[in-house]
Amino acid sequence: MKRLAIVLFLLLSAVCVFAQEPLSGIVVDDAGKALAGANVMAYGADGKVLSFAVTGTDGTFQLKKTAGLERITASFMGFKTVSIPAGQFKDGQQIRMEAGGFQLKEVAVTAERIKENGDTLTYSVGGFKQAQDRSIADVIGKMPGLEVKASGTIEYQGKPINKFYIEGMDLMGSQYALASENLSADKVKDVQVLENHQAIKSLRDVSFSEQAAINLVLKDEAKSTWSGLADLGVGYGREWLYDNRLMGMQFNKHFQTLMLYKNNDTGKDIGAEVADLTDLTGYRMENGLLDMISLNGPEFERERYTFNSSHLLAGNWLLKTGADSQLRLQVSGLLDREGQQSLSRTTYLTIAGMPVIVEDWDVTGRRREVTEEVDYTLNSAKTYLNSRTKVFADWNASSGVMNLDGNATDLMVRPWKRSVSEDLSMSHTTKDGHIWRLFSSTGYTWLPGQLLTLDGKQETLDLGLFSTRNYASVSHRIGKWMFSGKLGMDRIVSANGCSAGNWAWMPGGSKSTTTSGAC
């Protein structure tokens, strides 16, 4: 029975490895000569680029397999584009391109749009920028294989990026939408995609990443000098409209800063620009029992029906404290007022005397949030240390009136939240090949929420929760094999003294867990 299980396991492993192998091939001309620098793209049914590659000096390429693949195309200047349905393409297939005549009406010298060097793809901003593009996010969204989501998240070949660098430095951390949405495309020369990017230097030969990172290469005139930007917009419709922005920034080898103030009442959610987009391992604030009042909107863009007044103030500072170390400070404050109205009529034809029920909501939501984060990182060839302290507080509130057939009910909810946390990550590689790792995430969330009940009474929900998550591990490579063991502990303590926790020991991938306490 054990032998059968081992055989099945090996078969499944082989299937998984085979499924993850990339699609490969070679592009040649009419005479069978390899074409270097040809563009090969994989498209989905909606015409979206799912994967992208540039052929090497021997004409070969590799494309990542992705779900929804419909066709593969190869293009090269002076040759006719070749398109092959995905079902007809075989791994290792030769794509033969025919020379195609063309006439140039004008000759213009432009930079190469895409260059490949190992695991780095370099996109020329000038090759993709259009006249209407303002921010670098507008241009990134036009680059093959890259997509900018409505939340600000940037994806490469369907996966979110794990780092966003400016001139090789991590100024923005997980709040990179603030830079991508506000940094002018005119200041950026190239956008580099670092494939399979492992940000921790000491783990680059040990722990591999399937995510990519982005690095912005600035133009010379945007480096080592203070620069500013002021956008002022005022209009009049049913009432006065405004959309304003003030920025100050500097980027050099030892210090970077980006400071911004913006406001608008055009419906755009500027608070999303300071949201965490990449960090999934750190402390997460607890969710309370209360939420802001939210009404269902129509099925079109939120900016078209939202009535808001928003103000965002943010500052980001990064100082290189050594050849492999840096200190980052981020502070942001958000003031946002949003009005919502909803009117519905329900007709009941089978109930005598009650033909129509009218429900009318008039709600105003106010967000007042402050965030501060201090981050220190040491990232050398042997040692990695990251310490991040974060403080958050809000005074958010929703209030309004709900009318049901003329009977008014007052509404009020204050889902206040306070949080302080410390995340610590360490990794060290010894001379004999041992890799020691330590991770600790500890924080406290206080939820002093308030709620107005239907009978007009105000209730206070004063909740607090302390949690800590810790583990240590050791790994050692022997030949092609990596052996590791991991010891961890989680602990949660609520304000009423109730606690729960567990610890786990996982040698070489096996797992043994002991749990104690319950809430």
224-275 residue pLDDT tens: 899 988 989 888 876 788 899 999 999 999 999 999 999 998 888 899 899 9
Instruction: Quote the pLDDT of residue 497.
Output: 52
Instruction: Quote the pLDDT of residue 7.
Output: 40
Alpha-carbon span 61 to 114, nearest angstrom: 15
Query: CB atoms < 10 A from the CB of 516, how many?
Result: 10
Tell me if 159 sits within 8 A of 211, measured CB to CB.
yes
Would you say the C-alpha torsion 177, 179, 182, 183 has a positive or negative sign? negative
CA dihedral 47→53→55→61, nearest 10 degrees, is: -100
**Hey, what are 168's tokens?**
């090789």
Predicted confidence (pLDDT) at residue 492 exceeds the cutoff of 80: no
Predicted confidence (pLDDT) at residue 216 exceeds the cutoff of 90: yes
Q: Average of pLDDT values for 2-26? A: 51
Continuous segment of H or E residues that includes residue 126:
helix 125-128
Give the residues across from 359 on adjacent strands.
Answer: 344, 404
- CATH fold, domain 114-221, is Ferric Hydroxamate Uptake Protein; Chain A, domain 1 (2.170.130)
380-417 residue pLDDT tens: 999 999 999 999 999 999 999 988 877 888 999 999 99
Most confident of 316-320, 450-454, 467-471: 316-320
**DSSP SS3 for 13:** helix
Predicted confidence (pLDDT) at residue 76 exceeds the cutoff of 50: yes
Alpha-carbon span 481 to 503, nearest angstrom: 27
**Hey, what are 324's tokens?**
């492999």
Residue 20 confidence class, pLDDT cut points 50, 70, 90: very low
Model's pTM, two decimal places?
0.76
Instruction: Quote the pLDDT of residue 18.
Output: 37
Alpha-carbon span 351 to 369, nearest angstrom: 48
Average pLDDT of the chain?
Answer: 84
Q: Average of pLDDT values for 356-379? A: 91
The full set of domain ranges for the chain reads 19-96, 114-221, 227-516
Alpha-carbon span 73 to 88, nearest angstrom: 12
Would you say the C-alpha torsion 46, 52, 55, 59 has a positive or negative sign? negative
Residue 21 confidence class, pLDDT cut points 50, 70, 90: low
Instruction: Quote the pLDDT of residue 176.
Output: 95
The single-letter code of the amino acid at 97 is M
Instruction: Work out the end-to-end distance of the chain between its first and last CA atoms, rounded to an integer number of angstroms.
Output: 41
Tell me if 64 sits within 8 A of 77, measured CB to CB.
no
- CATH fold, domain 19-96, is Immunoglobulin-like (2.60.40)
**Hey, what are 240's tokens?**
């006065």
